[in-house]
Structure 1
Amino acid sequence: MEELINKNHQGDCTEIMTKIKEKSINLILTDPPYNASKGGVNLPDNKTGGAYYKVNEDWDKFDKYSDYMDFTRKWIKEADRILSDKGTIMVCCSLHNIGEVMMALKELNYKPLNIITWRKPNAMPSITKRMLTHSTEFIVWFAKGKPWTFNYDKMKKYNYGKQLRDVWDFPSCQGPERVKGENGRAAHPTQKPLKLFKRLIEMASKEGDLILDPFIGSGTTAIASQELSRKWIGIDSNPEYITIANERLNKIKNQKKLKL
Structure 2
Amino acid sequence: MTSIHPTAIVADEAEIADDVEIGPFCVVGPHVKLSAGVSLRSHVCVEGTTTVGEGTTIFPFASIGLPPQDKKYQGEESRLDIGAHCIIREHVTINPGTQGGGLVTRIGERCLILVGAHVAHDCVIGNEVILVNNVLLGGHVVLEDFVIVGGGAAVHQFVRIGTHAFVGGMSALENDVIPFGSAIGNRANLGGLNIVGLKRRGFERESIHALRRAYRLLFAQEGTLKERLADVDTAFPDDVNVQRIVAFIRSGGDRAICTPRGGREV
- Alignment TM class, shorter chain as reference: under 0.3
Query: Is the radius of gyration larger for structure 1 or structure 2?
Result: 2
Structure-1-length-normalised TM-score: 0.25
Q: Which has the higher contact order (CA 8 A, sep 6+)?
A: 1
Greater per-residue helix proportion: 1
